[in-house]
Amino acid sequence: PCRLLDSPPVSRIQIDGATKRFGAVTAVDEVTLDVSHGDFLVLLGPSGCGKSTLLRMIAGLAPPTSGRISLDGRDITHTPPRDRDLAMVFQSYALYPHLTVARNIGFPLRARGRAKSAIAGKVAEVAAVLGLDELLDRRPRELSGGQRQRVALGRALVRDPGAFLMDEPLSNLDAKLRTATRAELTDLHRALGSTFVYVTHDQVEAMTMATRIALVNRGRLEQVGTPEQVYDEPASVFVAGFLGSPPMNLVDATLVARDGELHVQAPDVAVPLGIAGDLPARDVVLGIRPEHLKPGGSLVRGVVRVVENLGSEEVAHLLVGDARVCLRGPRPLGLAAGDAVGLTCAPEHVHLFDRTSGRRLV
Ligand code: ATP
């Protein structure tokens, strides 16, 4: 029987006020995060935001400057990486070029001095799970990028770790293979039930695979939630502008109460919110996702600059006041460059953020 699939050890990782400084740079700033048993947690953020450093802290490769990390309630802040029961999968795969696939996968067990027969059995199990059975005698240079990536995963799997830590493992694959491998990883996570912590700057990877997404900005957590939560109710302008393709339209506006109801106003924008006015007039950022703007109506007025054909959909780029605004919808949208158009949006799809703090209001 495949112990991998029978009773995988599943770990809970708790990060408590963890900070990592490199000289004057604070790469990770007071992060507190609880990764539950069986979570597929994706750390998502732009280049340099500190997500890799956070993962390396969990792995034990970058000791925190302050704060605490625990695994299943046990403080591992100062535990060496090899004693953490975590497996790390790197972007570069870090395979041994002179070893066969079988020996690459079995390497962690040999390093632990396991018996030959036990290693062979375990390697065979893992190879079966990952569809590598036919490739066990090849060397890394005789494999495709996707196959190498699976060998790297196999080397992590063979240890039955309590959790998998992955740093952009798909970034060396071409677009088609990346899509296929995404689905494979989701499948693998479901089959194993293990805890995954996965670093990426790719919002599609995060949205498609995560059970929860943690958005990282300048070393801090902006929001942690399910893909639906962070997409539908972004907690800040940063999150709103990071997710979505094209991302949410964000326009500086003013919130005003009129006739007891709230309205958002900006040049060429006048959106009634349909809620009783209990927020004081103030400077806000108005957010509307491209798919929630519809041609017709007169809440937003703009001029079409470009219409892009994506196959099943079109994206229109408009100028509204002096703001650039995108609209996405099924093809054909019926818009053409140069058109002056009115747009509408249902009140429930309007997002408001405080202009100063960037935090969500409605
Ligand atoms: P990327 O997606 O580009 O890898 P990231 O979000 O993973 O970015 P980190 O690699 O965690 O970001 O880096 C966060 C910050 O810490 C950056 O400003 C980086 O330059 C800095 N940093 C990371 N490692 C070191 C180091 N060993 N020495 C000095 N500064 C570092």
Q: Do the beta carbons of residue 134 and residue 124 sit within 8 Å? A: no
| Distance of CA 22 from the midpoint of ligand 1 (Å) | 9
Looking at residue 226, the DSSP 8-state letter turns out to be -
With 60 as the cut, is the pLDDT of residue 7 above it? no
| Distance of CA 356 from the midpoint of ligand 1 (Å) | 27
| Distance of CA 48 from the midpoint of ligand 1 (Å) | 5
What per-residue string of b and e applies to 230-257 under the rule 16 or more CB within 10 Å gives b?
Answer: bbeebbbbbbbbbbbebbbbbbebebbe
Q: Do the beta carbons of residue 41 and residue 214 sit within 8 Å? A: yes
pLDDT, position 295: 92
Atom of ligand 1 nearest to the CA of 62: 27
Q: Which residues contact 278 (CB under 8 A, 6 or more apart)?
A: none
pLDDT, position 256: 87
Residue 49's identity, in one-letter code, is: C
61 lines ligand 1 (CB under 6 A): no
Q: How many of the other CB atoms lie within 10 Å of CB of 157?
A: 26
Q: How many of the other CB atoms lie within 10 Å of CB of 270?
A: 16
> Which of 52, 166, 170 most suits a substitution to test ligand 1, by most atoms within 8 Å of the C-beta?
52
Residue nearest to atom 28 of ligand 1 (CA): 22
The average pLDDT across 8-24 equals: 91
47 lines ligand 1 (CB under 6 A): yes
> Which of 22, 88, 172 most suits a substitution to test ligand 1, by most atoms within 8 Å of the C-beta?
22
For domain 3-241, the question of CATH label 3.20.20.70 is answered with no
Residue nearest to atom 25 of ligand 1 (CA): 22
The average pLDDT across 275-295 equals: 86
**Cα–Cα distance, 171 to 93 (Å, whole number):** 11
Query: Nearest-CA neighbor of 353 among 201, 258, 220, 223?
Result: 223
Residue spans per domain, the chain: 3-241, 242-354
Kindly indicate the confidence band of residue 3, based on its pLDDT and cuts at 50, 70 and 90: very low
pLDDT, position 272: 80
With 60 as the cut, is the pLDDT of residue 145 above it? yes
> In terms of C-beta density within 10 A (0-12 exposed, 13-18 middle, 19 or more buried), how is residue 179 classed?
middle
Mapped onto helix, strand or coil, the DSSP state of residue 330 is strand
How many residues does this entry show for the chain? 362
pLDDT, position 10: 79
Structure tokens at 329: 């919808």
With 60 as the cut, is the pLDDT of residue 5 above it? no
| Distance of CA 351 from the midpoint of ligand 1 (Å) | 32
CATH architecture for segment(s) 242-354: Beta Barrel (2.40)
DSSP string, 44-104: E--TTSSHHHHHHHHHTSS--SEEEEEETTEE-TT--GGGS-EEEE-TT----TTS-HHHH
Q: Do the beta carbons of residue 140 and residue 151 sit within 8 Å? A: yes
Query: Nearest-CA neighbor of 16 among 2, 1, 3, 35?
Result: 35
Residue nearest to atom 14 of ligand 1 (CA): 50
The 10s digit of each residue's pLDDT in 224-248 is 999 999 999 999 999 999 999 999 9
Complex prediction ipTM: 0.95
Residue 148's identity, in one-letter code, is: R
Q: Which residues contact 36 (CB under 8 A, 6 or more apart)?
A: 12, 195
Kindly indicate the confidence band of residue 276, based on its pLDDT and cuts at 50, 70 and 90: low
**Cα–Cα distance, 120 to 40 (Å, whole number):** 29
With 80 as the cut, is the pLDDT of residue 214 above it? yes
Residue nearest to atom 16 of ligand 1 (CA): 27
Kindly indicate the confidence band of residue 123, based on its pLDDT and cuts at 50, 70 and 90: very high
287 lines ligand 1 (CB under 6 A): no
Residue nearest to atom 19 of ligand 1 (CA): 48
pLDDT, position 8: 54
**Cα–Cα distance, 154 to 100 (Å, whole number):** 13
Structure tokens at 77: 């802040």
With 80 as the cut, is the pLDDT of residue 1 above it? no
Please tell me whether the peptide bond between 46 and the residue prior to it is cis, using omega within 30 degrees of 0. no
Q: Which of 16-30, 84-98, 209-223 has the lowest mean pLDDT?
A: 84-98
Kindly indicate the confidence band of residue 223, based on its pLDDT and cuts at 50, 70 and 90: very high
Residue nearest to atom 9 of ligand 1 (CA): 50
Q: How far is CA 177 from CA 92, 139, 147, 150, in A?
A: 16, 20, 10, 12
**Cα–Cα distance, 278 to 266 (Å, whole number):** 20
Structure tokens at 69: 């990390």
Q: Which residues contact 188 (CB under 8 A, 6 or more apart)?
A: 129, 130, 153
Residue nearest to atom 1 of ligand 1 (CA): 47
Q: How many of the other CB atoms lie within 10 Å of CB of 38?
A: 18
48 lines ligand 1 (CB under 6 A): yes
| Distance of CA 305 from the midpoint of ligand 1 (Å) | 38
User: Percentage of residues in the chain with pLDDT exceeding 90?
Assistant: 67
Most confident of 12-16, 169-173, 192-196: 12-16
